[in-house]
Structure 1
């Protein structure tokens, strides 16, 4: 993931996150779901819970790590997009929901570290 554009690295990180979550038993409902309110990287189903997953990849920690990049403004934007998703995809609107973050930090010449933070917005 080091020689390509940021967009390609971001998509590769999302794919890595999706595969990780699927290995943990989650099922993909939508990927890169776009609306006028924003984008949802991954929408997964964990049992009967709809999980909105924000995937953050950072090659360097100079501007903060991947997890720190999900600030209050970003959380609001994701929450608005999730609300719109549930309005458009009404079959999921009665299910419990949560917001997770997959933070992938490449580090310095080491393998990328993937951290899965469940209920990341409940802090």
Structure 2
């Protein structure tokens, strides 16, 4: 159980650093770790009038591939379902997009790859 908690705390730390990194690039943080049936949204941010659902993926290195490669079709569907739930629960109707940020390395040496509008809701 300890290992899972360590991984969770590392993940939350990476998400926090990523939120700060995105804020430095003009986005503003709305919420973190929003749970919904069947999924979780790591970060919800605002980019002007657009609500941005951000999936953060981290790997210490690329030995087993880039972290962006882990956002497959099933993961996209879970994120879309969670985003729809968030919008309904908060009675929001606005422009939205799904971004993915791949993070490689260990703090403080992190490399960020930001893919805006990585996929569309279908």
TM norm structure 2: 0.86
The residue number in structure 1 matching 2:111 is 113
The residue number in structure 1 matching 2:102 is 103
The residue number in structure 2 matching 1:27 is 28
The residue number in structure 1 matching 2:86 is 85
Give 1 or 2: higher strand fraction. 2
Structure 1 residue 111 displacement after superposition: 2.4
Distance between the aligned counterparts of 1:24 and 1:41, measured in 2?
18
Structure 1 residues 1-123: aligned runs within 5 Å: 5-90=6-91, 92-93=92-93, 95-106=94-105, 111-122=109-120
Distance between the aligned counterparts of 2:104 and 2:26, measured in 1?
23
CA deviations 1:29-53 (Å, max 9, x no partner) are 1100012231100000100000000
Helix, strand or coil at the partner of 1:119: strand
Distance between the aligned counterparts of 1:61 and 1:72, measured in 2?
21
Q: Aligned pair count?
A: 115
Gaps of 5+ in 1: none
Helix, strand or coil at the partner of 2:117: coil
C-alpha RMSD of the superposition = 1.8
Gaps of 5+ in 2: none
TM norm structure 1: 0.85
Superposition misfits of 4+ residues, deviation over 6 angstroms: none
Structure 1 residue 5 displacement after superposition: 2.8
Distance between the aligned counterparts of 2:114 and 2:61, measured in 1?
19
